[in-house]
Amino acid sequence: MKFGTKAIHAGVQPDPTTGAIMTPIYQTSTYVQESPGKHKGYEYARTQNPTRDALQANLAALENGKHGICYASGLGATDAILKLFKPGDEIIASSDLYGGTYRIMVRVFAEFGLTFKFVSLDNPANLEAALTDKTRLVWIETPTNPLLRIVDIVAIAQITQQRGIRLVVDNTFASPYLQNPLNLGADLVVHSVTKYIGGHSDTVMGAIVTNDDDMAARLKFIQNACGAVPGPQDCFLALRGIKTLHVRMERHCQNAQRVAEYLQQHPKVSQVYYPGLPDHPGHELAKRQMRGFGGMASFELVGDSLPEAVRVMESFEVFSLGESLGGVESLCTHPASMTHASIPKPEREANGLKDTLIRLSVGIEDVDDLIEDLERAIAQI
């Protein structure tokens, strides 16, 4: 079955009691048992919920995995993965990554004895150099947030597999429509469902997909034991969002390509980060491992003046200034003060993330209006 058909049909079937074509929102906390332990497969809604089951099966199908497990947020999913490890275990993560992922690692799990190293993994040789006999997990985003670097999943997986180290790919920026890391050698795929999968900026949720039965069982145990489950209404919204994922992603890619090309030729723009541009260092790799270049683009203005960058961000009329990404509407974010503020400035700067970087989540509006908005906003400086 091809992607669009799976997006609409995988994991869902007409409701057995009424024939309702849409999976109902099973808004219940418990399920009646005939006799202690004699029930229809559902006991308590933290443990199982039919709306969540449908979503989990659907997401597993979209990532070509066996097991889908959903959490109350993307960071809830990250939290569950980190709980698979023990004090003394070392985790190597790519140095360009979502600030909240950095924060849960450094401010929460480091306190429990996990150790973390942040390494620029767009060159896989850097991973070889950083590995120790304590390394148990490698964590990558690709494309990375917010600098849109491309990490070679196959090359990284070759290194981790040889040494029995687990590889997680945060596939939030690509979505399962553009990239399937399990097919490229990853052990676990993690998503902020909040973003492209949900697609409408109305839900916060996370998901993990894996083919590994043992890790799936442990992650389901953590889902139930620690309790970071999404509610049924959110699962319904995510399922509804997914039905148009393939159509939305096509338009996100087209619009972002046009926006990136426009920005690249603008005399007041010094740098554009978008993997669909032929001079992006990861362009050829992105062509190999992705089916499109996605809807995220970042840029810097000539002169690197923070007040000027702020003036541009304040001047947008179609792009809304805010955190998050992946919704149908275009958003603009200031990573240094918003999504990546929890990474100390010297570390951000060492990684190439300037205070003047502007990140765009290019929505699916009419692209001419987006370009006009950029033109108007940049003309303010």
Q: How far is the CB of 205 from ligand P1T (least distance, A)?
A: 6
Kindly tell me which of 191 and 251 has the beta carbon lying closer to ligand P1T. Answer: 191
Query: What phi-psi label fits residue 185: left (phi over 0), alpha (psi between -120 and 50 degrees) or beta?
Result: left
Cα dihedral across residues 19, 24, 27, 30: positive or negative:
positive
Residue 252 amino acid letter: H
15 is known as an active-site residue: no
Q: How far is the CB of 72 from ligand P1T (least distance, A)?
A: 8
188-192 and 206-210: which strand pairing? antiparallel
Give the tokens for residue 138.
Answer: 């490698």
Residue 98 binds ligand P1T, judged by CB under 6 A:
yes
Instruction: Spot the catalytic one: 26, 71, 98, 274.
Output: 98
Q: How far is the CB of 99 from ligand P1T (least distance, A)?
A: 7
Give the tokens for residue 7.
Answer: 């997006």
Task: Give the footprint of ligand P1T on residues 134-153 (CB under 6 A).
Answer: 141, 145
Rounded CA-CA distance 52/299 in Å is: 38
Kindly tell me which of 13 and 337 has the beta carbon lying closer to ligand P1T. Answer: 337
Task: Give the footprint of ligand P1T on residues 181-200 (CB under 6 A).
Answer: 192, 194
Residues pairing with 192 in the sheet:
206
Instruction: Spot the catalytic one: 79, 96, 122, 170.
Output: 170
List the one residue out of 301, 274, 295 whose CA is nearest residue 147. 274
| Options 56, 339, 351, 356; binder of ligand P1T; rule CB under 6 A | 339
Q: How many CA atoms lie within 13 A of 345 on its CB side?
A: 3
Residue 204 binds ligand P1T, judged by CB under 6 A:
yes
Instruction: Spot the catalytic one: 15, 31, 42, 46.
Output: 46
With contact defined as beta carbons under 8 Å apart, do 374 and 255 qualify? no
Number of residues interacting with ligand P1T: please give it, by CB under 6 A: 20
Q: How far is the CB of 358 from ligand P1T (least distance, A)?
A: 13
Element (H, E) at 138: strand 135-141
Instruction: Spot the catalytic one: 195, 248, 348, 359.
Output: 195
46 is known as an active-site residue: yes
**φ, ψ for residue 47 (rounded to 5)?**
-80, -50
Kindly tell me which of 96 and 187 has the beta carbon lying closer to ligand P1T. Answer: 96
With contact defined as beta carbons under 8 Å apart, do 148 and 274 qualify? yes
Residue 333 binds ligand P1T, judged by CB under 6 A:
yes
348 is known as an active-site residue: no
Residue 179 binds ligand P1T, judged by CB under 6 A:
no
Q: How far is the CB of 342 from ligand P1T (least distance, A)?
A: 12
Order of all β-strands in the sheet with 115-119: 67-71, 206-210, 188-192, 166-170, 135-141, 90-94, 115-119
Please choose, out of 20-28, 93-101, 128-136, 273-281, the segment that lies near ligand P1T by the rule CB under 6 A: 93-101
| Options 49, 51, 58, 73; binder of ligand P1T; rule CB under 6 A | 73
Non-local CB neighbours of 241 within 8 Å, separated by 6+ positions: 197, 198, 199, 200, 203
Rounded CA-CA distance 271/357 in Å is: 9
26 is known as an active-site residue: no
String marking each residue 296-325 x if it binds ligand P1T according to CB under 6 A: ---------------------------xxx
Residue 74 binds ligand P1T, judged by CB under 6 A:
yes
With contact defined as beta carbons under 8 Å apart, do 10 and 61 qualify? yes
With contact defined as beta carbons under 8 Å apart, do 259 and 362 qualify? yes
Q: How far is the CB of 225 from ligand P1T (least distance, A)?
A: 20
Where along the sequence are the contacts to ligand P1T (CB under 6 A)?
73-75, 98, 100-101, 141, 145, 170, 172-173, 192, 194, 204, 206, 323-325, 333, 339
Active site residues: 46, 98, 170, 195
